[in-house]
Amino acid sequence: MYDFEYHKPTALADATKALGGTDAKALAGGMTFIPVLKQRLAQPSAVVDLSGLGLTGISLEGNSLVIKAMTTHREVATSPVVAKAIPALAHLAGHIGDRQVRYRGTIGGSLANNDPSACYPSAVLALGATIKTTKRSLKADEFFQGMFTTALEPDELITEISFPIPAKAAYEKFPNPASRYATVGGRRRHVQTLHPPRHPQRHQLIARLAGQPPQPLIL
Amino acid sequence: MAHIKLTVNGKPAHAHVESRTLLVELLRDHLHLTGTHVGCDTSQCGACVVSVDGKSVKSCTMLAIQAEGVHITTIEGLAAADGTLHPMQEMFREHHGLQCGFCTPGMVMSAIDLVESHPEGLTEQQIRDGLEGNICRCTGYHNIVKAIAAAWPIMHKKQMPQAAE
């Protein structure tokens, strides 16, 4: 691993400032980024550790489930709030990687990385979630821009993800036997249409594939 | 170089580390605790698992500098001062839960976290699923699973409930 300057800010403004202007990179749970550094696939001059920003927590706001960016997979998987609101999301989080990965990996880190084999991007896209950043709010289909590419600017950080609570949702994947990444994964949601206009069917079915396609895909 | 302070196996420890130093390098090279192994070095095999503030963590995928102020337990910190083994170590011995022994420190550290975080009991399937982050190249999983099931009642000081599958 090449050496770098390490920063651990305690305020968001300091974090975005540290990320701006140089080739600094943000460190969330590090479950992808640290292996990337070890393989010298990245050579940032500075690494900004986001774990001191207090960006963790899960709450209900109206008809949405709001998860802050540094919330770990383990916290999502074991949260009674998530289990009640969107049990499929708790199930998804509980099957990412392995126990040790789930203790450190974060929802914001997974989304910012946008690995096509990762589980969370499919949930965010299929559930129609909104990604809030230090600069704006982005709809899922504006956020994901292709393999490992997102709309995030270098000094822009995800702060929270807001999931509208669906009537029903499910996620299934064919995991790689070693890494548990999705070889193919799919998420479906049923949306209860509150004011059905002319269509006879009251439910809309949305599916999204992870894994095989090079980027998140809504079917 | 940064100067970090932490607690390792109940004792204060400190070291001068580079930003890029991994936690496992801090433990093995700086603190000479070589019981924690590096197997794959790609966060898959689990030979490097240690306890960080009570959670099992792959120490090859955490920076040493991130360990400032934390409490770490390694395999060396499990047995009592008089040499009495931790119940999990004792059950690994009793059930022969190891062959070459390379994966064993990580297996034991993961197994303790698994048992501690399931006070309601563990089924055989839950134990097998809970070990998904630990790979044994000797493929000796069966006795490891038996050892963990046997350690549960000792660690929780009660009989294992009949947990639902």
Residue B162 lies in a domain: no
> How many residues are recorded in chain B?
165
- Do B71 and B7 reside in the same domain of the chain? yes
Predicted confidence band at A188 (pLDDT cuts at 50, 70, 90)? low
Q: Distance between CA atoms of B63 and B56, rounded to whole angstroms? A: 15
Topology of the domain comprising A55-218? 3.30.465
**Average pLDDT across chain A, whole number:** 87
pLDDT at B160 over 90: no
- Do B16 and B67 reside in the same domain of the chain? yes
- Minimal Cα distance from A175: which residue of B? B132
Instruction: Say if the Cβ atoms of A30 and B61 lie within 8 Å.
Output: yes
- Do B67 and B93 reside in the same domain of the chain? no
> How many residues are recorded in chain A?
219
Q: What is the pLDDT of residues B84-131, one digit of tens each?
A: 999 999 999 999 999 999 999 999 999 999 999 999 999 999 999 999
- Do B46 and B102 reside in the same domain of the chain? no
pLDDT at A191 over 90: no
Residue B142 lies in a domain: yes
Q: What ipTM was reported for this prediction?
A: 0.94
Residue B165 lies in a domain: no
User: In chain B, how many domains are there?
Assistant: 2
Three-class DSSP labels, A52-83 = HCCCCCEEEECCEEEEECCCEHHHHHHCHHHH
Q: Which of A99, A102, A103, A106 to mutate to test the interface with B (most CBs of B within 10 A)?
A: A99
A5, A37, A98 ranked by CB distance to B133: nearest: A98
Residue B161 lies in a domain: no
The torsion angles phi and psi of B49, rounded to 5 degrees, stand at -65, 130
Q: What is the pLDDT of residue A184?
A: 66
Residue B39 lies in a domain: yes
Predicted confidence band at B51 (pLDDT cuts at 50, 70, 90)? very high
The alpha-helical segments, DSSP class H, found in B37-121 are 87-94, 104-116
Q: Distance between CA atoms of B29 and B133, rounded to whole angstroms? A: 24
Predicted confidence band at A219 (pLDDT cuts at 50, 70, 90)? low
Domain range spanning residue B105? 87-156
Q: What is the pLDDT of residue A201?
A: 42
- Do B150 and B128 reside in the same domain of the chain? yes
The torsion angles phi and psi of A210, rounded to 5 degrees, stand at -110, 160
**Portion of chain B with pLDDT greater than 90, in percent:** 93
Q: What is the pLDDT of residue A202?
A: 40
Residue B67's domain is classified under what CATH number?
A: 3.10.20.30
Predicted confidence band at A141 (pLDDT cuts at 50, 70, 90)? confident
Instruction: Say if the Cβ atoms of B110 and A103 lie within 8 Å.
Output: no
More confident residue, A174 or B142: B142
pLDDT at A195 over 80: no
Instruction: Say if the Cβ atoms of B19 and A3 lie within 8 Å.
Output: yes
Residue B163 lies in a domain: no
A1 min Cα distance to partner chain B (Å): 6
For chain A, the C-alpha Rg in angstroms (whole number) is 17
- Do B30 and B6 reside in the same domain of the chain? yes
Q: What is the pLDDT of residues A28-40, one digit of tens each?
A: 999 999 999 999 9
Q: What is the pLDDT of residue A131?
A: 98
On whether any CB of chain A is under 8 Å from the CB of B65, the answer is yes
**Average pLDDT across chain B, whole number:** 95
Q: What is the pLDDT of residue A194?
A: 41
Predicted confidence band at A211 (pLDDT cuts at 50, 70, 90)? low
Q: Point out the domain boundary residue: B57, B76, B95.
A: B76
Residue B164 lies in a domain: no
Structure tokens at A106: 């974060």
- Do B66 and B6 reside in the same domain of the chain? yes
Q: Point out the domain boundary residue: B51, B76, B101.
A: B76
Q: Point out the domain boundary residue: B76, B98, B117.
A: B76
B113 min Cα distance to partner chain A (Å): 10
Beta pairing partners, A77: none
